[in-house]
Structure 1
Amino acid sequence: MGLASGKTQCCEHCSRNGAVATGSAGSTGALIVGCPKFARRMDYLRDPRICKNLAFSARDRDNMSLRGLIPPAVRSVETELQAVMDNIKLYESGLAKYLYLRELHEYTEELMPLVYTPVVGEACLKYSLIYRRPKGLFLTAQDAGKLYDVLGNWPEKQVDAIVVTDGERILGLGDLGANGMGIPVGKLALYTALAGIHPERTLPVMLDLGTNNEILLADPYYIGLRQKRIRGAQYDDFVDEFMQAAVKRCVRSVRAQCACAVCMSYETFGKNCLIQFEDFGNRNAFKLLAKYKNSYCTFNDDIQGTASVAVAGLLASMRITKTPLSSNKFLFMGAGEASLGIAELLVMAMVKEGATEADARNSIWMLDSRGLIVKDRAPNGDSTQSHKEKFAKDAKQMNNLLEIVKFVKPTVLIGASAQSNAFNKEILECMCANAERPVVFALSNPTHKAECTAEAAYTYTDGKCVYASGSPFPPFKYKGKTFYPGQGNNAYIFPGIALAVSACGVTTIGDEVFLIAAKTVANTVTEQNLNEGRVYPPLSDIHDVSLNIAAELASHFYATGVATVKPEPKDKMAFLQSKQYDFSYPGTVKVK
């Protein structure tokens, strides 16, 4: 936290020993040398917010008493970054690279698959084994009734964004319990890398309410609670307590005997704090979104973020197929959070094109683990039943995907089922009978869960399909043409939304936000991108995409009166850029 100006002394120790502040007065990187409340010199070197590694100048090293603790060479930022890239290329496995990257906290386009999908899935599977030191806050069932106090233990008192999971449905891997912490950590790394959200103002949170994964419960290294998952009212009460605690504001002195600017702090984070729900099970995801969306600054990335990036890809695809969305027939394999979220946003997009809601819903067919969703199907207590019923059809019950494709004749096939290779040769060939340029999206993560590979899609459709996937696939050459598969990664969406929401002081997030974001992404896809088979902009452009989304949303927030930061900035882009984290190394000044 910031220091008071002048000779700042924090406690009796500081007064007795004459310790003085180093670091820019009033900056978050300030340090009280010698004070037990603050970092020792070696801890300073380990703090990624303020450590410059070998970029410390000679003056820095003297002021911070670092001389001798690091080698004498002084490197530029550019040299430091190149060293990172050269080092990471020495590792062979994705997991080894992930571990190295986690230590460094330095991110570039080439490293994005290591920060998040697909390697984060492997990291979560082994999270207990590779756990080194805290990277977020673990709130457990044992903390019920004390969550406000536990949140107060987080050392950073200004938090703009939280990503929270309960670990029940991690990617396509299922219940990973506390090992799911890798997801919030990875998501928030992308908040910073792609949208410039200040890293110290982000908080990964794991709601550890147990796990039903017997392998984890028997694992001697498992870092989470060894108990079955809490359900029902006890679960709901816990999440309620967390939400209320996260936005409650109360000022007090951390040290009763000290009233300096360092020790005075906000305990939790206010109504403007963005809370992103991630990888909750179906039974809770929709319920919690409906419960909190109108009273908290929150969204569910699996439902709304996935919907936004998928619709962005579909909008871009229509520029290849030369058809409006509403003239297509859509078949979803999988009817969970992702598919239902995409379908609902797709309906909104088609209505914006001029279709009626009834016609839009009639164009969308869904297949779940029980087969085609039809009106006369007996209910089975499915927690998403009411959402699925909106897309139920007057048709006979069918279970075989090939039979369903032949019956429905979809022009767009979307997979979000985590069933690898479900879109086989016969399915893909059949899609070509339905459309000259069939659209095939295999969105399941991680890579080995994809419904089909890019190679299979292009080969079995004779290069005719418009393809996108949830995890990255390399370029594929077919009959002399190189195709660059699009990756429908939510990272195109959520960083820009977070930047706009945080900068504008928005307290609730409406559904239209995700359609605006989708259209913005689709509009950044160039004709050259489309000719290469891309329905998303290259990842090298993702920083600009995030900023463009934020600018469009900032205009929307002020136009609709939901922005609380006043006055309205005339230049939205400059305003947003002024709010972004500065990746350059700060100066270090000794305060006398």
Structure 2
Amino acid sequence: MENILNSKLNKGLAYSTEERQRLGIHGLLPPCVQTQEAQEHLVLENLHRIKEDIDKYTYLMHLLDRNERLFYKVLSSHVEEIMPLVYTPTVGEACIKYGFIFNQPKGMFITIKDKGHIYDVLSNWPCQNVKVICVTDGERILGLGDLGAQGMGIPVGKLALYTALAGVNPSQCLPITLDVGTNNQAYLNDPNYIGLKQKRVTGKEYDDFIEEFITCVKKRFGSTCLIQFEDFHNTNAFRLLEKYRDTACTFNDDIQGTASVALSGLLTAVKMTKVELKDCVFLFYGAGEAAIGTANLIALAMSEKGISEEQAREKIWLFDSKGLVVKNRPEGGINHEKAPYAKDAKPIKVLSDAVDFVKPTAIIGAAAQGRQFTEEIIKKMSKLNKRPIIFALSNPTSKAECTAEEAYGHSEGQAVFASGSPFKKVDFKGRTFHPGQGNNCYIFPAVGLAAVAADLKHIPEKFFLIAAESLSNQVTSEELEEGRVYPKLNRIQEVSFKIAVDLVKYALDNGLSNLYPKPKSVESLVKEAIYDTKQINKNSHVIIAQLGSVNKFQFMQIQITLERSA
């Protein structure tokens, strides 16, 4: 019976009659033998019967619990339909309700009470060959705020996309939530909240906890285990990235992944507007991790086009909750990260007035404040630019600064538009526009695949510029004609592969890889690291039968052995 309860080995009705007899499961399944493709079709039929997206999410998570390879086959083959269900925007609702839908462990919860024993906790994870960790402390989940331990839905979803979109082996992926408490009073009062019921730990105790975590990860899984920081509050996100970027293989997706995908969209957009990047003026609505990370990467990209980074920053403006970020504003609030973009200009508190003053080529939303790009602002952008660039990048959909229909409609079809959440195609005056989704999924899975394939020591900032350029270069002329600034999502596996190859080539040329000697073919190296949703070691049933009855976590260990021998 154990043989069909392990999600990593279970094939559902795809077991042949011989396999059922050898595994001792003959009679436990209906006599019908189905292919993986037939089971995939059944999954889709069941999904289409379910009305609510959150219920579809729950169904898919249960599929992951019982048949891992079928889950990834469905997700990777139907990215446009399934990705919004397992990640943005549905994952936001899933996190809010995580206490109700939690079924069985898909990652690890490490709490502040485990301080001093984090290595022992990590040792409880049965897979030895972890190569990628996505970790959150749950303080800033999407645009939803502090969800504490219930933010676990984010690293689970992110790592599912590592596998489905770039082929990183799920056995090498580990979602982790660091529970240091929550300041969400509703959760502290909620008997169904699954995390520690205490206020967040801060200061030195928090920093020491993070330091122990990083140290123990490297000790347990090796110094080249990739650690992706996810949804940390910006007060911690920037400083943790700066502290560990040169001593661990790490990056922050909210800062660097967002920046890379946004820059890629802008690189494509300027091809459509015929305005060179170095001549553009950018106005960010928002001045947090996403905005500043993107601004920094734009400045780096512009500096490679012939102007200094200082000159580039003069063309980049930030607008936060206090208004335009200028040096002499009375409220202050200009922290270390914002300071390079603070200008000698008058304070402006209204976004439409800032558009009049800055006269931007592109306006980029990253504040998680919905519907702030009003009809007035879009029309002003259209007067300033023949083809205004309007990126409404905030997630989830309710937080988007404007809809695709609003952007195209108020600009008379001239806007170059991208969003963080998906929008359907828009028909306007005889033209059909396909809005681009500036989703980090175009970037972080490829970075993970490159890290695994090349055994990377560090993730330099240049990686995200290379990834942005590689992604932009893969937008076809047909996609440009449709108004897309990103490749179609149904091409994302091939796109991720190409980005990973470009990143590995740079890593090998610049001494960032532990591989020696240098492989003859980078393409072959990357292909060898890719997970096959169909392959289960042909000898697995023999090995398992010899082992007899084992528990589920032991099966995970067995799977690693089988895949290494495949």
Pairwise CA distance, 1:377: 2.6
Distance 2:542 2:409 in 1: 64
In the alignment, is residue 479 of structure 1 matched against residue 429 of structure 2? yes
Distance 2:330 2:457 in 1: 40
Pairwise CA distance, 1:379: 6.6
The one-character-per-residue Cα deviations of 1:70-119 (angstroms, maximum 9, x if unpaired) are: 11111111111111111111111110110111111311312111111111
Q: 1:155: which partner in 2? A: 126
Among candidates 421, 437, 440, match of residue 390 of structure 2:
440
Q: 1:327: which partner in 2? A: 279
Q: 1:530: which partner in 2? A: 480
Pairwise CA distance, 1:567: 2.1
Distance 2:300 2:507 in 1: 19
Three-state SS of the structure 1 residue aligned to 2:82 is: helix
Among candidates 136, 139, 161, match of residue 190 of structure 1:
161
In the alignment, is residue 410 of structure 1 matched against residue 360 of structure 2? yes
Matched-pair contact (CA < 8 Å) for 2:23–2:541: no
Q: 1:100: which partner in 2? A: 59
**Which amino acid is the alignment partner of residue 182 of structure 1?**
G
Distance 1:287 1:128 in 2: 31
Of 458-467 and 352-361, more deviation after overlay is shown by 352-361
Aligned counterparts, 1:378-393, within 5 A:
378=330, 380=332, 385-393=335-343
Among candidates 40, 44, 50, match of residue 9 of structure 2:
50
**Which amino acid is the alignment partner of residue 136 of structure 1?**
G
Distance 2:310 2:516 in 1: 41
Distance 1:75 1:357 in 2: 59
Among candidates 156, 164, 184, match of residue 213 of structure 1:
184
Q: 1:365: which partner in 2? A: 317
Q: 1:125: which partner in 2? A: 96
Matched-pair contact (CA < 8 Å) for 1:503–1:565: no
Q: 2:369: which partner in 1? A: 419
Pairwise CA distance, 1:141: 1.0
Matched-pair contact (CA < 8 Å) for 2:329–2:346: no
Distance 1:581 1:590 in 2: 22
Matched-pair contact (CA < 8 Å) for 1:438–1:464: yes
Distance 2:86 2:364 in 1: 25
In the alignment, is residue 312 of structure 1 matched against residue 264 of structure 2? yes
**Which amino acid is the alignment partner of residue 373 of structure 1?**
V
In the alignment, is residue 513 of structure 1 matched against residue 484 of structure 2? no
Pick the structure with greater CA Rg.
Answer: 1
Distance 1:566 1:498 in 2: 20
The one-character-per-residue Cα deviations of 1:228-267 (angstroms, maximum 9, x if unpaired) are: 000000000000000000010xxxxxxxxxxxxxxxxxxx
Pairwise CA distance, 1:124: 0.6
**Which amino acid is the alignment partner of residue 49 of structure 1?**
K
Distance 2:276 2:167 in 1: 35
The one-character-per-residue Cα deviations of 1:165-198 (angstroms, maximum 9, x if unpaired) are: 0000000000000010000000000011011111
Matched-pair contact (CA < 8 Å) for 1:379–1:385: no
In the alignment, is residue 74 of structure 1 matched against residue 26 of structure 2? no
Q: 2:173: which partner in 1? A: 202
Distance 1:543 1:46 in 2: 29
Three-state SS of the structure 1 residue aligned to 2:542 is: coil
Distance 1:390 1:51 in 2: 54
Distance 1:296 1:585 in 2: 33
Among candidates 431, 442, 450, match of residue 381 of structure 2:
431
Q: 2:416: which partner in 1? A: 466
The one-character-per-residue Cα deviations of 1:403-430 (angstroms, maximum 9, x if unpaired) are: 1111111110000011111001000000
Could you list the runs of 4 or more consecutive aligned residues of structure 1 that deviate by over 3 angstroms after TM superposition?
Answer: none
Distance 1:148 1:578 in 2: 31
Matched-pair contact (CA < 8 Å) for 2:284–2:366: yes
**Which amino acid is the alignment partner of residue 185 of structure 1?**
V
- Cα RMSD of the aligned pairs, angstroms, is 1.1
Three-state SS of the structure 2 residue aligned to 1:340 is: helix
The one-character-per-residue Cα deviations of 1:474-522 (angstroms, maximum 9, x if unpaired) are: 0010001110000000000011111111111111110000000000000
Distance 1:440 1:451 in 2: 10
Identity of aligned residues (%): 50
Q: 2:552: which partner in 1? A: none
Three-state SS of the structure 2 residue aligned to 1:172 is: coil
Structure 1's unaligned 5+ residue stretches are: 1-40, 249-267
Counterparts in 2 of 1:377 and 1:229: CA distance versus 1, 3 Å: same
Distance 1:590 1:552 in 2: 40
Distance 1:46 1:445 in 2: 36
Counterparts in 2 of 1:545 and 1:286: CA distance versus 1, 3 Å: same
Among candidates 442, 447, 450, match of residue 492 of structure 1:
442
Three-state SS of the structure 2 residue aligned to 1:387 is: coil
Among candidates 3, 15, 24, match of residue 65 of structure 1:
24
Structure 2's unaligned 5+ residue stretches are: 65-70, 547-566
Distance 2:348 2:222 in 1: 50
Q: 2:197: which partner in 1? A: 226
Among candidates 108, 114, 117, match of residue 85 of structure 2:
114
Matched-pair contact (CA < 8 Å) for 2:136–2:176: yes
Distance 2:238 2:160 in 1: 25
Distance 1:392 1:589 in 2: 64
Distance 2:391 2:232 in 1: 23
Aligned counterparts, 1:220-299, within 5 A:
220-248=191-219, 268-299=220-251
Task: Identify, as 1 or 2, the structure richer in helix.
Answer: 2
Matched-pair contact (CA < 8 Å) for 1:52–1:585: no
Pairwise CA distance, 1:378: 4.7
Distance 2:199 2:496 in 1: 39
TM-score, L = length of structure 2: 0.92
In the alignment, is residue 399 of structure 1 matched against residue 370 of structure 2? no
Tell me the number of residue pairs that the alignment of Structure 1 and Structure 2 aligns: 530
Three-state SS of the structure 2 residue aligned to 1:536 is: coil
Q: 1:349: which partner in 2? A: 301
**Which amino acid is the alignment partner of residue 511 of structure 1?**
E
In the alignment, is residue 576 of structure 1 matched against residue 547 of structure 2? no
Pairwise CA distance, 1:126: 0.7
Pairwise CA distance, 1:69: 1.3
Q: 1:164: which partner in 2? A: 135
Distance 2:166 2:38 in 1: 23
Pairwise CA distance, 1:45: 1.7
Q: 1:28: which partner in 2? A: none
Matched-pair contact (CA < 8 Å) for 1:165–1:277: yes
Matched-pair contact (CA < 8 Å) for 1:441–1:469: yes
**Which amino acid is the alignment partner of residue 168 of structure 1?**
E
**Which amino acid is the alignment partner of residue 336 of structure 1?**
G
Aligned counterparts, 1:550-569, within 5 A:
550-569=500-519
Three-state SS of the structure 2 residue aligned to 1:366 is: strand
Q: 1:375: which partner in 2? A: 327
**Which amino acid is the alignment partner of residue 60 of structure 1?**
E
**Which amino acid is the alignment partner of residue 66 of structure 1?**
I
Distance 1:158 1:378 in 2: 53
Distance 1:157 1:205 in 2: 15
Distance 2:183 2:322 in 1: 23
